[in-house]
Homo-oligomer: A and B are copies of this chain.
Amino acid sequence: MRIFVPFDARDPKTRLSSVLDADERASVAQAMLRDVLAALAETTHTPVVLATDSVDCAVPVRVDDRPLTPAVNDALTDVDGSAAVVMADLALATPAAIERLFATDGDLVLAPGLGGGTNALVARHPDFRVDYHGGSYHDHREAAAAVGADVAVLDSFRLAVDVDAPRHLAEVLLHTDGHTAACLRQIGVELTRTEGHVAVTRSTENRS
């Protein structure tokens, strides 16, 4: 199986701008990519990073500066057999969650993200193509139906959290101890407890 990990190498994670400046967002995005690649490294498949620009990482990189959807679909066109697309911002991903994704039967296996996106998928049908945007989860289901592909959905919290809002940083610090958590701690992002849930703050001394 071919595995693609799309990565925005240029201006990643703009929705984190309220807590992280551009350099910090780039560092966090790189750390998340490393965590996702580390989880994938425990499987028997070697991923390809599908990046908008050159990126320094331990696996092959395919540079395509087009938007996500045409870049992924072009990559899928080159695949003879099954393919997976795993987003680079799944900082909570574990080998076990990835293995469950890959082991789920179905022409199309979807791991939904919070807010209606598609965080990871396995495509085992030659005619399926992606369409990423707000609400891609439902549209991917419809796209599968349109080509006669049956759909399975993976129930995974760890693959549902794509880190693109400040509250998701709390999930990283609560549930992981990898590159991303270390990067956030170095920046000064810390867990705080409120009445109803856990959130994050950042220490002012580390604010650039």
Contact = CB atoms under 8 A, between A and B. Distances in A.
> Copy number in this complex?
2
Interface in A133-183: 133-135, 137-138, 155-161, 164, 167, 170-171, 174-175
Interface stretch (A20-28, A31-39, A189-197): A189-197
A105 B5 CA distance: 33
A160 B155 CA distance: 10
Interface of A: 15, 94, 96-97, 100, 112, 114-117, 133-135, 137-138, 155-161, 164, 167, 170-171, 174-175, 191, 193-199
11 contacts: A94-B155, A114-B114, A115-B167, A115-B197, A115-B198, A116-B174, A133-B193, A133-B195, A134-B195, A134-B198, A155-B156
